[in-house]
C-alpha cells in the first residue's frame, strides 16, 4: 500500500551520520507527509494524526538518547560491589554458631544470587546495542514502518 503513494526512489532517505539521524528521519517523514497531503493522498485529519505521531517519535528518541547517554555513576557500581562483598563476608558470623558447616552452601547460594543480580543490572544498563539481550530495535522499526503504512494506506 505504501508504495502506491511513495515512489520507490523516494522511499529511502540518505542521512548524514555526522548529524542527528532521528531528526533527519523525522524531517524527511514530515516532508513526505506534507507532499502526500498536497497530492491529496491523505486528508487533513490523517495529516494531523501522523504529525502528532512524528512529534511523539522525536520526543521518544530524545528520551532514549537520555537513557543511553546517562551512565550509571561509577561510585554506585563500586558501592554495590563493596556492599555485596561485605555482606557475604559478614554473613557467616551471624549464622555460623547455629548452622555450623551448613553455612558454606548457604553462603555460596547467597553470593550466587547477589552476584547474578549485579550482573543482570550491568547487562540492562545499556539496552541499545546489538547484543542478543538488547532491545530488538530492528523489529520495532519494522513494526513502526508497517503501522505507518497502514495509516497512510
Task: Report pLDDT for 7.
Answer: 45
Cα–Cα distance, 68 to 89 (Å, whole number) = 34
Length of the chain: 153
pLDDT tens digits, 120-131: 888 877 787 788
Q: By percentage, how much of the chain surpasses pLDDT 90?
A: 16
* Radius of gyration from C-alpha coordinates of the chain: 26
Q: Which residue has the higher pLDDT, 148 or 53?
A: 53
Split at pLDDT 50, 70, 90, the class of 95 is confident
pLDDT tens digits, 12-34: 677 787 888 888 888 888 888 89
Split at pLDDT 50, 70, 90, the class of 85 is very high
CA atoms within 13 Å, Cβ hemisphere of 51: 13
Amino acid at each position: 500500500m505504501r508504495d502506491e503513494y511513495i515512489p520507490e526512489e523516494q522511499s529511502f532517505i540518505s542521512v548524514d551520520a555526522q548529524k542527528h539521524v532521528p531528526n533527519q528521519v523525522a524531517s524527511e517523514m514530515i516532508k513526505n507527509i506534507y507532499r502526500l497531503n498536497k497530492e491529496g493522498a491523505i486528508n487533513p485529519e490523517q495529516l494531523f494524526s501522523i504529525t502528532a505521531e512524528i512529534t511523539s517519535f522525536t520526543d521518544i528518541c530524545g528520551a532514549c538518547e537520555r537513557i543511553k547517554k546517562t551512565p550509571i555513576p561509577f561510585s554506585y557500581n563500586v558501592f554495590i560491589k563493596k556492599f555485596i562483598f561485605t555482606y557475604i563476608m559478614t554473613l557467616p558470623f551471624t549464622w555460623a554458631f547455629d548452622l555450623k558447616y551448613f553455612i558454606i552452601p548457604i553462603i555460596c547460594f547467597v553470593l550466587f544470587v547477589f552476584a547474578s543480580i549485579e550482573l543482570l543490572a550491568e547487562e540492562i544498563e545499556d539496552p541499545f546495542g546489538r547484543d542478543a539481550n538488547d532491545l530488538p530495535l530492528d523489529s520495532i522499526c519494522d513494526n513502526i514502518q508497517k503501522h505507518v503504512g497502514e495509516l497512510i494506506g
